[in-house]
Structure 1
């Protein structure tokens, strides 16, 4: 691969961008990642975009020119920290909470700036990132898979997954009916305040981050930090590990970061989410409130049932559901969402089915 300096000299790298990934904080620190790249100039999707147009945008995402070994400065509430990008262009930040700072809103802002000069006449390269900060009225957290949990992708069928990934866009990818309304209800909980944090953990690569964020925005799915996976050999060598190891590591990182709240875990039966969540129950006893698994793979019924029984012995229930309403009705029966929200989920599910 051509080195960055050569790319600059040949005029192949004309502008630089900082790609921020939504982070989260507790009473001790905030945590987030950024990536420094050649500016891909992808732009937002349009509903009328065709397959070839979508493919060209996706190609840009996966052919990103990473900028290694450069300094990025982050400023949060007056505190500064500088991190150096690794060989894949990533930089990781753990910024201590400034003394006396108390969040008054769920989302705080971090200012970002590239310190090093990569190309002549570069100018200032800046960005900002959003950080989820918990307030006092958290009831529980929600951790959800994405592929075949929120949106059908055919993740267990390679060609179908590649086709939907590379030739679709945020408008053409349609979530399972009722998902957005259900996640909004969980976000509000019983106190009707949008404060319960949502985290999305997936084995999709970081290259799809902006695509997935746009997808959530288009379909009004509540925003939250995305914990994705690198397709290079850095960032903890995640590509060398399995789907299981990656997701387990990320889920347990969230559990450790927010150590004083229980979690509802949502996944599907197709890619070993039940096995991953079983291990979480064992590693964090008493912390899992409920597990909802979307049934997408018939040949794993017995395996999933065996895991459900083992979870039950450990004091945690797992519900295998065919659609969103099953999970929503159960959540209402447990007092985790409001009566009106169940009605809204039902209406939303019908509208989604009609429009889909």
Structure 2
């Protein structure tokens, strides 16, 4: 049992932020109590991405009662159980792919977010992750083809999934209460993304959201159920950081946009979001600083009740677009497809399928 014990407060990384230190202490105490109660490390795998020379592996290590299916796979963790599962800071995880193995370590929130050097061919690959004595789990990783020219970055809440909730309560409701069966897709958005990926089969698909990693399995099932193209979810970890009392979702998006531009300098991105948060401002900022990396921006216009719950619309001054990057907006996927067709970004045949 000792090998599962979490780091002591003295072993945890030092943080200048008092709230971060308090959170570390609480999580350490929770982990110790969970281990005493017979919980063991379980890896929750997330879809990753990479190039032919490296891959970004994403997963989360939590302490749970050992429960497996007949095939030895970890049973699903849903809703509030996923959110309340105790993360295991510093947990070692063995990552294996294509004959290579690496040992990585979970961060203070139990999250594995590591770039590993490995040679892989373009397309989907299966990665094996293992921690402790529980059965290994597998994750999918999309290796981007060097010939890829287009990529897709898409927001989640109110862009592909209707939330209709005040922003302060949105994450809690989605995490603790709602099952993916109860979530409604935004009309036409699944078809729009499917057409974009059909016309650009090499395109990586990135779902960039301010949501917590705890809800990643639920979002993955939602995307699968409603026939959105599979892709990588880049979410964030709730709670304080070294220099903030609460993590900034806006900074999370900004940093990942810049990172993707640096990782794939040959790709221009189609950016999809909504006008209820900061997507317009962030995409405009990214387009201004990385004009050669943006193919187009598509903004879903919230309906009046949705905009009210989201805290109002945040319109960008589009006259400040010196690079003249194509920018379209509409209340649903069909409207966005029509405008993208006029700009030649999707074919006329695809637009007529809505």
What TM-score do the two structures reach when normalised by structure 2?
0.80
- Is there any run of 5+ residues in structure 2 with no aligned partner, and where? 1-25, 69-76
Contact 2:88–2:106 (CA under 8 A) maintained in structure 1: yes
- Is there any run of 5+ residues in structure 1 with no aligned partner, and where? 44-55, 118-122, 347-356
CA, structure 1 residues 88+165, in 2 after alignment: closer, same or farther (shift >3 Å)?
closer
Superposed structure 1 runs of 4+ greater than 6 Å apart: 40-43, 236-239
**Aligned residue for 1:127?**
137
CA, structure 1 residues 154+295, in 2 after alignment: closer, same or farther (shift >3 Å)?
same
CA, structure 1 residues 160+8, in 2 after alignment: closer, same or farther (shift >3 Å)?
closer
Of 272, 275, 298, which residue of structure 2 is paired with 1:266? 272
Q: In the aligned structure 2, how far is the partner of 1:42 from the partner of 1:171?
A: 23
Q: How does 1:235-314 map to 2 (within 5 A)?
A: 240-296=246-302, 297=307, 304-306=315-317, 308-311=318-321, 313-314=322-323
Of 205, 209, 215, which residue of structure 2 is paired with 1:208? 215
Contact 1:281–1:287 (CA under 8 A) maintained in structure 2: yes
Q: In the aligned structure 2, how far is the partner of 1:271 from the partner of 1:324?
A: 18
Q: In the aligned structure 1, how far is the partner of 2:83 from the partner of 2:345?
A: 40
**Aligned residue for 2:123?**
106
**Do residues 16 (structure 1) and 23 (structure 2) align?**
no
Contact 2:236–2:249 (CA under 8 A) maintained in structure 1: no
CA, structure 1 residues 81+161, in 2 after alignment: closer, same or farther (shift >3 Å)?
closer
Question: Cα distance, 1:300 vs. partner?
Answer: 5.8
1:179-208 alpha-carbon deviations (Å, 9 max, x no partner):
11110000112xxx6322110011110010
**Aligned residue for 1:140?**
150
**Aligned residue for 2:233?**
226
Question: Cα distance, 1:81 vs. partner?
Answer: 1.6
CA, structure 1 residues 108+160, in 2 after alignment: closer, same or farther (shift >3 Å)?
closer
Q: In the aligned structure 1, how far is the partner of 2:167 from the partner of 2:91?
A: 39
1:41-97 alpha-carbon deviations (Å, 9 max, x no partner):
899xxxxxxxxxxxx942212211112222111122222221122222122321113
Contact 1:138–1:261 (CA under 8 A) maintained in structure 2: yes
CA, structure 1 residues 314+339, in 2 after alignment: closer, same or farther (shift >3 Å)?
closer
Q: In the aligned structure 2, how far is the partner of 1:231 from the partner of 1:42?
A: 26
CA, structure 1 residues 324+42, in 2 after alignment: closer, same or farther (shift >3 Å)?
farther
Contact 1:42–1:60 (CA under 8 A) maintained in structure 2: no
Q: In the aligned structure 1, how far is the partner of 2:244 from the partner of 2:158?
A: 21
CA, structure 1 residues 140+267, in 2 after alignment: closer, same or farther (shift >3 Å)?
same
1:118-154 alpha-carbon deviations (Å, 9 max, x no partner):
xxxxx34311111111225534101010011111113
CA, structure 1 residues 259+156, in 2 after alignment: closer, same or farther (shift >3 Å)?
farther
**Aligned residue for 1:87?**
108
**Aligned residue for 2:59?**
34
What TM-score do the two structures reach when normalised by structure 1?
0.79
Q: In the aligned structure 2, how far is the partner of 1:208 from the partner of 1:247?
A: 17
**Aligned residue for 2:8?**
none
**Do residues 324 (structure 1) and 333 (structure 2) align?**
yes
Contact 2:212–2:235 (CA under 8 A) maintained in structure 1: yes
Q: In the aligned structure 2, how far is the partner of 1:154 from the partner of 1:238?
A: 28
SS at 1:309's partner residue?
coil
**Matched length:** 314
CA, structure 1 residues 164+273, in 2 after alignment: closer, same or farther (shift >3 Å)?
same
Contact 2:330–2:336 (CA under 8 A) maintained in structure 1: yes
Q: In the aligned structure 1, how far is the partner of 2:165 from the partner of 2:214?
A: 17
**Do residues 4 (structure 1) and 31 (structure 2) align?**
yes
